Amino acid sequence: MNLLDRLFGRPQPSSREIAKNRLQLVLVQDRVNLSPQLLQTLKDELIAVISKYVEIDVDGMEVTFTQSRRQSRLTADIPVIGARVRR
Amino acid sequence: MSAKVITITSGKGGVGKTTATANLSAALAMQGKRVVAIDADIGLRNLDVVMGLENRIVYDLVHVVEGTCRLRQAMIKDKRLETLFLIPAAQSRDKNAVKPQDMIDVCEQLRPDFDFILVDSPAGIEQGFRNAIAPADMVLIITTPEVSAVRDADRIIGLVEAEEKGPARLIVNRLRPGMVQRGDMLDTADVLDVLSIDLLGIVPDDESIIVSTNRGVPVVMENNSRAGQAFRNIAARLLGEDVPLMDVEAPTSWVQRFTRFVRGS
């Protein structure tokens, strides 16, 4: 980023920030031993199972791994539209 | 006296395990502690040349393990530091010549006569690494501020914890303060944030390491080297002293700051 970029407001992340972000992503995968492809499969299966019971907003769904200290946590945020089956 | 066994490891090769082992061993010996450094990198012996003791090897760790010689015969006494010893690795054998239990046995024999036993681990996560951490009371992990080294460090931290040798402590090696300030190198805080372990010390990148390794004299023996000072500080922390972290930020003038602003980094 040079002076012109700075004055005209085109901020670009430094290579340091890029390195940190890439590391954080790859370490999540390393720690749970789950590739991006497997994570997608997990998502698809979650959708399939949950859709049997409730209608969900698939586009608004977020499945992420978060880290606190050295513990990994799988968080699924799934918007529900309505009940699919009445029992 | 019962020695504390400290294993120095990293996962990735070439990040400074051997240099750190040589310098921490020498720095502890300079404090009057009785220290033995063990090269656990069977087949790729190097601690001897870094310590400048390569011409005095007769027996090595594998000879001891196989019973060819007594433990004392494989211990090389450093002539500069009265209380420093080296047990070299074998050069012509492979890592399977030593087993984790052998390392535990050797360290048990050494414990009564020493304050510290420092074990230089080979790179990797195979048998050589397992040998090196088997006797450890404490594990030090060396990394450099690069994505590949930090990623490997993370893997090693997990393995150390799985072996119930944790919590490991971290040394960030070859930090280049100028590059950090320009936004072109991971800072120590970034590395700690990603790895979530305790920091033991930071060693700045320093050409004097190469010069002292050329000569076979650990850099801690030289007073005006910043890396030497960093290793002496780490040794002091291992002795329980509360030494503040080195200010590795390079001194900056207003000219440098202005230049940096214009270049936008």
Residue A74: φ, ψ to 5°: -95, 120
Nearest chain B Cα distance for residue A33, angstroms: 11
Tokens of A35: 């590739």
Mutation pick from B156, B160, B180, B186 vs chain A, by most beta carbons of A within 10 Å, is B186
Read off the pLDDT of each residue in B113-131 and give the average, rounded to a whole number. 96
Read off the pLDDT of each residue in B212-217 and give the average, rounded to a whole number. 95
Is the distance from CB of A32 to CB of B199 less than 8 angstroms?
no
Residue type, A5: D
Nearest residue on chain A to B198, alpha-carbon basis: A69
In this predicted model, what pLDDT tens digit does every residue of A5-27 receive, in sequence order? 666 666 789 999 999 999 988 88
Q: Among B48, B30, B51, which Cα is nearest to B39's?
A: B48
Is the distance from CB of B150 to CB of B186 less than 8 angstroms?
yes
In this predicted model, what pLDDT tens digit does every residue of B150-199 receive, in sequence order? 999 999 999 999 999 989 999 999 999 999 999 999 999 999 999 999 99
pLDDT of residue B258: 64
Identity of the residue in A15, A17, A69 whose CB atom sits nearest the CB atom of B196: A69
pLDDT of residue B265: 47
With a pLDDT cut of 70, the percent of chain B lying above it is 93
Burial of B208 (0-12, 13-18, 19+ CB in 10 A): middle
Tokens 């850099």 map to which residue? B219
SS3 content of chain B, % helix, strand, coil (to 5): 45, 15, 40
Looking at the predicted structure, is the pLDDT value of residue B126 above 80? yes
**Three-class secondary structure of residue B175 per DSSP:** strand
In this predicted model, what pLDDT tens digit does every residue of B52-89 receive, in sequence order? 999 999 999 999 999 999 999 999 999 999 999 999 99
Burial B113-126 (b: 16+ CB within 10 A, else e): bbbbbbbbbbbbee
Q: Is the dihedral of CA B32, B36, B41, B45 positive or negative?
A: positive
Is the distance from CB of B126 to CB of B155 less than 8 angstroms?
no
**Global model pTM greater than 0.90:** no
pLDDT of residue A5: 62
Q: Taking CB atoms and an 8 Å limit, are A19 and B263 in contact across chains?
A: no
With cut-offs at 50, 70 and 90, classify the pLDDT of residue A84: low
Contacts of A70 in chain B (CB under 8 A): 157-158, 161, 196
Nearest chain A Cα distance for residue B148, angstroms: 9
**A with B: how many residue pairs have Cβ under 8 Å apart?**
56
Taking an 8 Å Cβ-Cβ cutoff, which residues of chain B contact chain A? 146-147, 150-151, 154-155, 157-158, 161, 180, 182-187, 190, 193-194, 196, 261-265
Q: What is the strand order of the sheet B198-204 is part of? A: B76-77, B84-87, B35-39, B116-120, B4-9, B138-143, B169-175, B198-204
Summary mean pLDDT of chain B: 93
Torsion angle, alpha carbons of B191, A17, B16, B114, to 10: -10
Residue B169, beta-bridge partner list: B140, B198
Read off the pLDDT of each residue in B41-59 and give the average, rounded to a whole number. 96
Summary mean pLDDT of chain A: 81
Q: Taking CB atoms and an 8 Å limit, are A15 and B196 in contact across chains?
A: no
Q: Taking CB atoms and an 8 Å limit, are B151 and A3 in contact across chains?
A: no
pLDDT of residue B57: 96
Tokens of B94: 């492979």
Tokens of A22: 């890439």
Is the distance from CB of B136 to CB of B119 less than 8 angstroms?
yes
Is the distance from CB of A75 to CB of A39 less than 8 angstroms?
no
Identity of the residue in A3, A16, A27 whose CB atom sits nearest the CB atom of B186: A16
Looking at the predicted structure, is the pLDDT value of residue B260 above 50? yes
Nearest residue on chain A to B190, alpha-carbon basis: A20
Taking an 8 Å Cβ-Cβ cutoff, which residues of chain A contact chain B? 1-3, 5-6, 14-17, 19-20, 22-24, 26-27, 30-31, 67, 69-70
Q: How far apart are CA B201 and CA B218, in angstroms?
A: 18
